[in-house]
Amino acid sequence: MASIETVDTAAIRHLIERFYGKVRQDPELGPIFDAAVDDWDAHVGILQAFWTRVMLGQGQYKGDPLSVHRQLPLKPELFAIWLGLWRATTAELFDQEIAAQFDARAERIADSLIAGLFFKPEAAKATR
């Protein structure tokens, strides 16, 4: 189990590798990500850079997650599966305090992606 002093790029990479191992085994998420990702090593590197930026405020990530996820056949309910796998993985690897920090950020990211992918302002206006 990691402690706050050991949350570094290596710990983040280990988290990403273990988490996406679970994602790839999931019957709903696995096929989506396997179809979208050609090079898993490169993808893990991108995600490591993203999470290093999110958790440590450093790193070279300069991508656009919303644009990338727009290309995938996602449904809002799949984010609950993603978050469940994420929480299980952080609980395996980190103490409760650190896992909670990772989880809170993942929840905000999921909420942001859901809003960006599925919110339809024109539909909201039509109900007024």
pLDDT recorded at residue 2? 46
Question: How many helices (H) and strands (E) would you count in the chain?
Answer: 7, 0
- Give the 3-state secondary structure of residue 76: coil
Taking residues 109-121, what's their average pLDDT? 87
The count of C-alpha atoms lying within 13 angstroms of the C-alpha of 114, restricted to the half-sphere facing its C-beta, is 14
pLDDT recorded at residue 34? 94
Span 59-97, pLDDT tens digits: 778 888 888 888 888 899 999 999 999 999 999 999 999
What sign has the CA pseudo-torsion 89, 90, 93, 95?
Answer: negative
Q: Which domains does the chain have, with CATH numbers?
A: 4-126 (1.10.490.10)
Q: Percent of the chain having pLDDT more than 70?
A: 88
pLDDT recorded at residue 16? 97
pLDDT recorded at residue 5? 47
